[in-house]
Amino acid sequence: MSDATSLSPSAPPPSPASPDAAAIPTADLEVGGFVPMSTVDWPDQLVAVVFVQGCPWRCHYCHNPALQPRGDHHPQVWQRVLQTLQVRRGLLDGVVFSGGEPTLDRALIPAIQQVRDMGFRVGLHTAGLYPDRLAECLPLVDWVALDIKTEFEDYKAVTAVPRSGDPVRTSLSLVLNSGKPCEFRTTWHPDLISDAALLRLARHLKVLGARQWVLQPYRPTPATQAGLGSVIRTPPDELVAQLRRVGPAVWVR
């Protein structure tokens, strides 16, 4: 996944601007970052990525803690994103809304509708915190990546928030029942999820009907918490092989 790149509200407008870009109506999405071109945020798609500001969780491995707080909102940033997208119509396959937690923002749905109206396909990265808004989004998106951080009852060990796995159970069902192309993602670090828990999770996902499961190696950054160490942690091949035997199709990426 791309890291958020800040898009300052005082940055110059993209050039050349489309003549009708100024006419795009403004949703009130709180944008914390924007990557104008990415090949890694939606498999086999060339996309722009919009990072929505705000997340109430405090995952130990969060790469973008600057995206966690809300409040420093500049509506003109979303307008600039739209202007950039306007001049890239036909060059990009789609737009991914990521975060932070994009479903936190009540302007997400009108924002999705705006980029759909421009002709882009829409992808969504979510940790499943807000199932009600996710349910509203699903009919409008073409692909979803849902984080499954650990077993639902153990979420606090990763997010530092009690009972944070509860809404994710609902979100997982919503995504699976929607029939939308999707993948589920788990960041692997042996201090955060044991092999036994991962195997139980694999079986559970398979029973529920999940088909694509991506294990993401823990990658330290200056922002990740020191207790998790300063080296990349990749799941061992033997563990991955075991998971493939009992769970959905597993990729390490």
Q: Summarize as ranges the residues that interact with ligand SF4 (CB under 6 A).
A: 55, 57-59, 62, 64, 67-68, 99-101, 127
Phi/psi-derived region of residue 25, left when phi > 0, alpha when psi is between -120 and 50, beta in every other case = beta
CB-nearer residue toward ligand SF4: 58 or 116:
58
Closest distance between ligand SF4 and the C-beta of residue 64, in Å?
6
Q: Using an 8 Å Cβ cutoff, are 125 and 96 in contact?
A: yes
Closest distance between ligand SF4 and the C-beta of residue 56, in Å?
8
Closest distance between ligand SF4 and the C-beta of residue 10, in Å?
25
CB-nearer residue toward ligand SF4: 3 or 195:
3
| 132-147: b (≥16 Cβ within 10 Å) or e | ebbbebbeebbbbbbb
Q: In whole angstroms, how far apart are CA 91 and each of 16, 20, 114, 144? A: 15, 18, 17, 21
CB-nearer residue toward ligand SF4: 88 or 147:
147
Give dist(CA 62, CA 156) in Å, integer: 14
CB-nearer residue toward ligand SF4: 120 or 155:
155
Closest distance between ligand SF4 and the C-beta of residue 164, in Å?
9
Q: Which residue, chain included where needed, has tokens 């606090």? A: 156
Give dist(CA 157, CA 163) in Å, integer: 10
CB-nearer residue toward ligand SF4: 79 or 105:
105
CB-nearer residue toward ligand SF4: 45 or 68:
68
Closest distance between ligand SF4 and the C-beta of residue 187, in Å?
8
Instruction: Tell me the DSSP string of 97-110.
Output: EEES-GGG-TTHHH
Structure token digits, residue 116: 């759909």
Closest distance between ligand SF4 and the C-beta of residue 160, in Å?
9
